[in-house]
Structure 1
Amino acid sequence: MRASSLLHPPLIRSPVRLFRNWCRVTSMERLTKSQHFPPEAIADLSKSSASGFMKLVETLEKREFALVLGAGVSNSAGLPAWTTLLYKICSAFFYHWEWELQHGQTSTHKPPQNLSIAFANEIFWSKDSVRKAEAFITGDPLLVAQQIKNCIRPADWKWLLRRALYDIDDLVQHDGSPSELIKMISSLCAIKAGRIRAVISYNYDDLLELCLKADRVPYKPIYAKPIRNTAALPIFHPHGYLPIHGGPAESTFVLSEDDYVQNASQPFSWSNLVQLETFAQYPCIFIGASMKDTALRRLLRLSRTTHAQAHFAFLPASEPMTQQSEMFDALFDHDLKTLGVYDVRYRVSEAPKDRHERLLKLIELAITCSCDRKKIWDIRKA
């Protein structure tokens, strides 16, 4: 199979559909690229970030591109980050073990192999039970997750993952509501529908898909094997796909220790090929990704051996801003450039609900405006 066949062909849209899409957009989206954003709009960005942002704006205006979404996107909607997800999986398993001990169904020498959802209805957990569960996972949660996966049935592993991903607590499940960040990403997909060639999401959830559906943006989640010639926006889930309601039986998940080893040992798997092709063919915009994952960095480095694309990563500035933290950020960002990634660092708000408010405004600027490089640099030098 040719790698180029993994991504969809240029979208062909009828004038009627284009007009209907235009009628649906908000007043913010009706702004045109003829409007330059004022220089003060990025006055808080460092020289490196301002340069990267202006290059990003020009890319959005002229080039086809791809989006790459990390755990921070789903976390903005209240879903757990990777470490928290592992912690919750381990906790749920050991809570279950403790529940079986209390009901005389097992012993301390025999880990449960068939999980029952009955224990999920047990609301009360003693402090001693919680303490025991937490004690098991104070070490390496990735290793403990692998040990649990080796112990139970595949269906139970999927059930544990679902509960850890979507259950806010023992009584409340996530309702699928998107965050403002996910809404903004959906707007970007709607406005730039003809230029976004692919979305790569390292998240298991379908919150973006639900938002795209509400915005009437055609999409196709791809999680097991590449689909040729889809007219919809392909959303690749290389680490697995677990929608909030139901889910495909054939989806596999990259989460435990063995999963990462197997993924690294199969360089020509469909998921690795899709990422390599995307990184090599299109400028990519990374949102919610820490850019520290060794597998991601390896693929970015490999992609540059064929085509050296310019990529962009929105990253939160270190807090508090000290001389030392600025030095750490500068070293990290300099290293990113060896991978072809330009940093756009933004200040994080102190308010928990508005932590990424500045990121939203930067994405809005990138969607709706163009930039006058000379004017901006002249003012910054003054």
Structure 2
Amino acid sequence: MLSAYSFETFVIELLRVHAESQAKPFDSRAKFRTGAPREIFMPDGFAPQGFDDFHGPVIVECYLSLSRQNFSRKLNLLQGVARAALSHAEVRPPVTLLFITDQLVDLDEFEPIVRSSGKDDSAIEVVIWGKAELNQVSGQHPEVSEHIVGNLLSMRVRSVLKNKEPDWRTERGSRVSKLAERFSTGQFSLFLGAGVSSSAGMPDWNSLLNALFVTYLTEDVEAKNDGAAQSILELVKRMNALDGPSALVSARYLRKGIAGNSADGRDFTGAIRKALYGLRKQNWLIDSPLIRVLVELCIPRRSGALVRSVITYNFDDLFERQLQAKSIPHKAVYSQTASVEVDDLPVYHVHGFIPEKASPYDGLDDATLVFAEEGYHQIYTDAYHWSNLVQLSALRDSTCLMVGLSMADPNLRRLLEISNRGVNEPRHFAFMKRMTVDSFVYDEVDNGKKKQILPDLDAAETFLENHHALTEVLMNELGVTVLWYEGYDEIPTILNEVGFPARAK
């Protein structure tokens, strides 16, 4: 299925060739003032000398699916852009606002919107192209059209590289401003991954698996002492280094080994609880700066709660503890039977919930535990599993911010792709760690020294630029805008800018 970004790439590349065949320039990097102070707008395309029967400048906007709401909102913006452009002597009327969509267009549906927005302004013309007009242009350049279709991804990457700011932090600043604007609307959800819990000293996945291996294997060791456990840990690390099986396969192996034939799996859950909280770095703040600011985003404002739900992939209860400390009404949801009061913030544990103390929570034995291979198979194949439904609901009905996630989970990517069908621009945001040239080129060796692994620094820098551009394109295809960071301590600062701009200054 054609995505909004693929459609935009096809149209803009086709129009560029079409305009240039008439000796007319076409620009996909044009920037305009909107009429608002310091606000800059970049249309999808701009033909300063027009083309075909358009004798003046043409501003192009592409929509895979053009709704009345999108059309009205963008039309008001583009009319402001056109009026600002017409204030310059070099821009002569008429300015055409060309909307292009991949659907059959009923012009009567949009005519009232154009009329009410000021159609009597003869200096600005509004035109809508649908499938018929686009096919007509494509038919004039069949070989070019075929080439574009076969190279959409590479063209999109080149477009990102060509249009990017010299400093990626500048681009991140504009994205953070857009995120803050979305947050203020109140239709907002948080998606939290392992990076959030690890900021408070919780173990990573590999450390947890290794600890469970030790728990399992020490059952066969008569002298259950620290020396035996340490010896087994070294054996486990060596096996992983040589065999390197899938983490999910390892988890399934462990679940079978620890739980045995136990039907309810309590032994396995108990082993996870003991390892999970036992391995936490006790000298780290349990209410880390990252957890604190995420919880503060959940505090209701005078106008009501801005964060409608929290989706977490973590087993632990660290987030709930901080919500409790801030007296924020909430409900941990870990099974399909749970009900949430209207004033409570739902915290959905879609991969399972293993609080340090089980007594305050009811029905933990019914919780979905997605730890091993079979758990992933269950939610991946059951489209109506409650955890899939709550994630889809958040992805479809709100702007979602993803923190501490690698964005590699196949089920999350599948749900993102489903929720993004027919959507014209990314609605969601994800923090992703940006690889530096230094960490890419050098390896850490003994005594804090570094060893250069890649000899060509320029080639490495170019490769990383392409890698980051490709990552952005692929995430955009899923409806996600990337917020890059290099150090984890940057994330709380950025979140303060989003939720508390006065405090961040």
Which AA in structure 1 matches 2:478? L
What's the CA shift for 1:278? 0.7
Calculate percent identity across the aligned residue pairs.
Answer: 29
- Secondary structure of the 1:68 match is strand
**Correspondence 1:79-228 to 2 at 5 A:** 79-97=202-220, 99=221, 102=222, 119=224, 122-125=225-228, 128-138=231-241, 139-140=244-245, 141-151=247-257, 152=260, 153=262, 154-168=265-279, 177-190=286-299, 194-225=305-336, 226-228=338-340
The equivalent of 2:498 in structure 1 is 366
- Higher alpha-carbon deviation: 241-250 or 287-296: 241-250
* Distance in 1 separating the partners of 2:348 and 2:422: 22
Q: 1:233 aligns with which of 339, 342, 345?
A: 345
Which AA in structure 1 matches 2:464? S
What's the CA shift for 1:87? 2.8
Distance 1:307 1:337, change over 3 A: closer
Distance 1:161 1:43, change over 3 A: farther
**Correspondence 1:240-319 to 2 at 5 A:** 240-246=352-358, 248-305=364-421, 310-319=427-436
- Secondary structure of the 1:235 match is strand
Which AA in structure 2 matches 1:84? S
What's the CA shift for 1:332? 0.6
* Distance in 2 separating the partners of 1:177 and 1:43: 38
What's the CA shift for 1:249? 2.5
Aligned alpha-carbon RMSD (Å): 2.7
CA-to-partner distance for each residue in 1:81-132, whole Å, 9 max, x for gaps?
23332232223222333x2xx36xxxxxxxxxxxxxxx5xx33337643333
Which structure would you say has the larger Rg? 2
* Distance in 1 separating the partners of 2:392 and 2:478: 13
Question: Is the Cα contact below 8 Å between 1:167 and 1:173 reproduced in 2?
Answer: no
The equivalent of 2:31 in structure 1 is none
**Correspondence 1:1-12 to 2 at 5 A:** none
What's the CA shift for 1:319? 2.6
Which AA in structure 1 matches 2:357? H
* Distance in 2 separating the partners of 1:249 and 1:273: 21
* Distance in 2 separating the partners of 1:314 and 1:331: 16
The equivalent of 1:347 in structure 2 is 486
CA-to-partner distance for each residue in 1:190-234, whole Å, 9 max, x for gaps?
155612110000101010100011111111000011525442000
* Distance in 2 separating the partners of 1:156 and 1:174: 29
TM-score with structure 2 length normalisation? 0.55
Which AA in structure 2 matches 1:130? L
Distance 1:81 1:230, change over 3 A: farther
The equivalent of 1:27 in structure 2 is none
Question: Is the Cα contact below 8 Å between 1:93 and 1:160 reproduced in 2?
Answer: no
- Higher alpha-carbon deviation: 55-64 or 285-294: 55-64
* Distance in 1 separating the partners of 2:356 and 2:292: 17
Question: Is the Cα contact below 8 Å between 2:315 and 2:354 reproduced in 1?
Answer: yes
What's the CA shift for 1:173? 7.1
Distance 1:261 1:215, change over 3 A: same
Question: Is the Cα contact below 8 Å between 1:183 and 1:211 reproduced in 2?
Answer: yes
Distance 1:327 1:47, change over 3 A: farther
Question: Is the Cα contact below 8 Å between 1:166 and 1:173 reproduced in 2?
Answer: no
CA-to-partner distance for each residue in 1:251-301, whole Å, 9 max, x for gaps?
231010111111111111110011011100001011111111111110011
What's the CA shift for 1:185? 0.6
TM-score with structure 1 length normalisation? 0.72
* Distance in 1 separating the partners of 2:170 and 2:283: 40
- Secondary structure of the 1:236 match is strand
Distance 1:330 1:87, change over 3 A: farther
Q: 2:489 aligns with which of 337, 357, 360?
A: 357
* Distance in 2 separating the partners of 1:61 and 1:275: 21
Which AA in structure 2 matches 1:67? L
- Secondary structure of the 2:299 match is helix
* Distance in 2 separating the partners of 1:317 and 1:196: 27
Q: Which has the higher contact order (CA 8 A, sep 6+)?
A: 1
* Distance in 2 separating the partners of 1:307 and 1:198: 21
Distance 1:271 1:68, change over 3 A: same
Which AA in structure 2 matches 1:142? L
* Distance in 2 separating the partners of 1:271 and 1:307: 23
* Distance in 2 separating the partners of 1:234 and 1:44: 38
* Distance in 1 separating the partners of 2:230 and 2:210: 17
**Structure with more of its chain in strand, by fraction:** 2
**Correspondence 1:60-75 to 2 at 5 A:** 60-75=183-198
What's the CA shift for 1:245? 1.4
- Higher alpha-carbon deviation: 138-147 or 204-213: 138-147
CA-to-partner distance for each residue in 1:45-86, whole Å, 9 max, x for gaps?
445423321210111122421011011000111112233322
CA-to-partner distance for each residue in 1:295-347, whole Å, 9 max, x for gaps?
11100111123766600112222133633223212211111111111111123
Question: Is the Cα contact below 8 Å between 2:428 and 2:479 reproduced in 1?
Answer: yes
* Distance in 2 separating the partners of 1:79 and 1:313: 21
- Higher alpha-carbon deviation: 219-228 or 231-240: 219-228
Is 1:331 aligned with 2:470? yes
- Structure 2 residues not aligned, in runs of 5+: 1-37, 39-164, 439-460
